[in-house]
Structure 1
Amino acid sequence: GANAILGVSLAVAKASAEEAGLPLYRYVGGAFASLLPVPMMNIINGGAHADNPIDIQEFMIMPVGAETGADAIRMGAEIFHALKKKLKDAGHNTNVGDEGGFAPNIGSTDEALGFVMKAIEAAGYKPGDDVMLAIDAASTEFFKNGKYELAGEGKSL
């Protein structure tokens, strides 16, 4: 469902912006829009989108230090490739999950975050300044019987 509706929505938005003679970001953001949003790039998959024990569904990076959209995409690609190298060097597979991030068979959320932080630094960026982290926990996937069951980590909250 989401893949089909997203494509249709984007096509309609682009056509409407073209008809109005406006850049897409201005059409969507309104008359006072002057900045493109910071992209959230999915680089590690877990949860329902991967066949690994990580409970969190998506670990993402946000290149907040980028000057332009092109710089943000370049930063994301550099970090993605640095992450691939870090995972390979640690003996993990670099297969991708359903959402395009790597789906390594690592044991915990903390370990996944550690790999992301090391990849950011290996690409030459400073976590918290140049690049922020974001997650999509998809917590409804592990909320059962009134508790959050983190099966991959053997925890119940």
Structure 2
Amino acid sequence: MTVIENVIGRVAVLRGGKYSVEVDVITSSGFGRFASPIDENPSLYIAEAHRAVSEVDEIIGPELIGFDATEQELIDSYLWEIDGTENFGHIGANTALAVSIATAKAAASEKNLPLYSYLGGTFTTELPVPILELGRGEEFDYYVMVRDLMEITDVVDAFNSVLENVEGNTVEAYSKATEKATDELGLEVALGLVQKKELDIETVLSTVEDNNVAYIKPIGGEELFLELIAGTHGVFVDGEYLFREKDILDRRYYNALSIKPINLGTLTDLYNLINDAKSERIVPILSEARYESSDEALAHLAVGFRCPAMVLHSNSIARLNELIRIAEDLGERGRIITFEG
């Protein structure tokens, strides 16, 4: 049986020394655990974590005992009902996400399935393209991606090659290093840019056009996004800023959207947004939060929900190990998703 018998909360430590909540969901023969990430720097560290644990132990847990762990959508909707606000303002999105993913893990455990297979079903065979953080500058953060990825480890080789060849902390320096990596490895290595402050449209356009850029996450108004979509070819324009600031989900403005599970609250909300993006022909890119635990669920979410790419910070590249394990588990059935702008 997949009936929930107990729900336990505890304080968890995240990357960077931040605190969050970890949740255990226990069924008769299944077990799930998840420590929720945090995307922004919390003002109350340990106090907020302890408050979240109290919510789990005293309110959420008792309410969920007796639920079937496989009824993910029902449980997730009930979390919203328990919270009673429009943005998880009461129990917190991190608490909701911890309970939601731990529940899915418990159900998967009960069925002796890896999480990605439980979420995606029998025909889940596609692996996302990793986009790895290289470094940080004043105007942009720099990432590396490989368009013609054959093995997950190809992107690690590209990452190392770029860092060995880069001479300076500028877009131009990283661009040249990606071109050298392309020659050295025989792979199509390209640069990703995450804009950190507003720049004039011509500067952003020329930066993309004059360098080996295949991915950009801009900051600015609708006009900037329209110009980038119209003025570039084969470049992923990530619309997270427009979606977050103006709730715009429209292929006319951007063709990719980085999605952080912590910003949604539950697995059902994550699944729905990914499908909404796909219905607009926008590529969903699963992305890490600012502060993460060592949990391996992100790779399973990317594979299970068929996200063509996932973004990792430079200090968490070891997360690729779980993606490599999933690839091994899939064997000849597994293939890396074609990632074309």
**Which residue of 1 is the match for residue 108 of structure 2?**
17
**Which residue of 2 is the match for residue 45 of structure 1?**
135
The one-letter code matched in structure 1 to 2:163 is: K
- Cα distance change, pair 18–59 in 1 and its aligned pair in 2 (3 A): same
Alpha-carbon separation, structure 2, partners of 1:34 and 1:112:
33
Cα drift, residue 136 of structure 1:
4.6
Instruction: Check the 8 A contact 2:162/2:174 in 1, yes or no.
Output: no
Name the structure where strand makes up a greater proportion of residues: 2
Quick one: which of 141, 163, 185 aligns to 1:57?
A: 141
Q: RMSD value over aligned CA atoms?
A: 3.8
Instruction: Check the 8 A contact 2:143/2:191 in 1, yes or no.
Output: yes
Alpha-carbon separation, structure 1, partners of 2:125 and 2:155:
22
Quick one: which of 181, 195, 198 aligns to 1:143?
A: 198
Q: What are structure 1's unaligned runs of at least 5 residues? A: 47-51, 91-104, 151-156
Higher relative contact order, structure no. (Cα contacts within 8 Å, ≥ 6 residues apart): 1
**Residue 85 of structure 1 pairs with residue 85 of structure 2:** no
The one-letter code matched in structure 2 to 1:110 is: E
Cα drift, residue 16 of structure 1:
4.1
Q: What are structure 2's unaligned runs of at least 5 residues? A: 1-37, 41-48, 50-93, 204-223, 225-341
Alpha-carbon separation, structure 2, partners of 1:20 and 1:119:
44
Alpha-carbon separation, structure 1, partners of 2:149 and 2:175:
20
Instruction: Check the 8 A contact 2:141/2:194 in 1, yes or no.
Output: yes
- Cα distance change, pair 114–134 in 1 and its aligned pair in 2 (3 A): closer
Cα drift, residue 61 of structure 1:
1.1
Cα drift, residue 85 of structure 1:
2.3
**Residue 33 of structure 1 pairs with residue 119 of structure 2:** no
The one-letter code matched in structure 1 to 2:197 is: F
Cα drift, residue 15 of structure 1:
4.3
- Cα distance change, pair 8–148 in 1 and its aligned pair in 2 (3 A): farther
Alpha-carbon separation, structure 2, partners of 1:10 and 1:60:
32
Instruction: Check the 8 A contact 2:175/2:191 in 1, yes or no.
Output: no
Identity %: 21
TM-score scaled by structure 1? 0.51
Partner secondary structure for residue 129 of structure 2:
coil
Alpha-carbon separation, structure 2, partners of 1:65 and 1:19:
34
- Cα distance change, pair 60–110 in 1 and its aligned pair in 2 (3 A): same
Instruction: Check the 8 A contact 1:25/1:36 in 2, yes or no.
Output: no
Alpha-carbon separation, structure 2, partners of 1:40 and 1:31:
26
TM-score scaled by structure 2? 0.27
The one-letter code matched in structure 1 to 2:125 is: S
CA offsets per residue over residues 53-104 of structure 1, 9 Å max, x none? 4x222322136431xxxx31x21222222223213xx4xxxxxxxxxxxxxx
Alpha-carbon separation, structure 2, partners of 1:134 and 1:10:
35
Alpha-carbon separation, structure 2, partners of 1:78 and 1:26:
28
